[in-house]
Amino acid sequence: MTLREVAASQAKAEGDTPAQFEVIEHRHLWDGRVIGLEEDEVRLIEDAEPVLRQYTTHPGAVAVVALRGEAGNEEILLERQYRHPVRANLWEIPAGLLDIEGEDYVCAAQRELAEEVDLQANQWDVLVDYFTSPGGSVESLRIFLARDLVELDQEFERLDEEALMVSSWVKLDDAVDMIFAGKLHNPSAVTGILATWNARARGWKDLRPVDSPWMR
């Protein structure tokens, strides 16, 4: 059997798992304001030549689906933000970096919800975790579902792109239609909307607690 055939015979899709391969040499190439650039020579197959892999480092992030409304007629909060690399105004869900050392993940999500849209929530659950671009970045992102929303008395000051943001409540079903019509492109929004839509269809029974393990 070939190596590919051996690997396939041992594979059973039961979920992602951490893995380690021999790193022959590691090089740090560059540091930016948020991301860095690393380079590894990795041996994937015993006795074979190592392969070269470059990837960006990233602190990780959290995002929030803020949900309100009666059952079957729920709305989610979307915010429009200018994203310079793609030269586009994108409709997104509140999100932010895990850039405060030691901050609990749900506390970071609560902070972002307050800072970006002046809301707090009394009910929090984990919707979904994912790597944003695992072929070239270590960035991982956790999306929380926030319900039982309350408006804050305090309005936060917003700077740079956030100063230009506007928000809109959109029916969940309409947001799903926008995705399949090719009208929404932000990965957190697309993932969060579809995860919420599916969670509702399953009666919210598979939502995870906020302290659930996160592979990152």
Task: Write the pLDDT tens digit of every residue in 34-58.
Answer: 999 999 999 999 989 999 999 999 9
Q: 118: which 2 tokens?
A: 């002046």
**Mean pLDDT across the chain:** 93
Res 165: pLDDT: 86
Catalytic residues: 162
- CATH numeric code, 61-201: 3.90.79.10
Task: Write the pLDDT tens digit of every residue in 64-85.
Answer: 999 999 999 999 999 999 999 9
Binned at pLDDT 50, 70 and 90, residue 9 comes out as low
Task: Provide the residue ranges of all domains of the chain, joining segments of one domain with +.
Answer: 18-57, 61-201
Concatenated DSSP letters for 131-161?
Answer: ES-TTTB--EEEEEEEEEEEE-SS-----GG
The tally of CA atoms less than 13 A away on the side-chain side of residue 93 is 30
Res 29: pLDDT: 98
Is 193 exposed, middle or buried (CB count within 10 Å of its CB: 0-12, 13-18, 19+)? buried
Can you tell me the distance from the alpha carbon of 27 to that of 80, in angstroms, rounded to the nearest whole number? 38
pLDDT at 181 over 90: yes
**Is the CB of residue 68 less than 8 Å from the CB of residue 149?**
yes
Instruction: Find how far residue 6's CA is from the centre of its chain.
Output: 34
What share of the chain in percent tops pLDDT 70? 93
Of 59, 143, 67, which is closest to residue 103 (Cα–Cα)?
A: 59
Res 3: pLDDT: 59
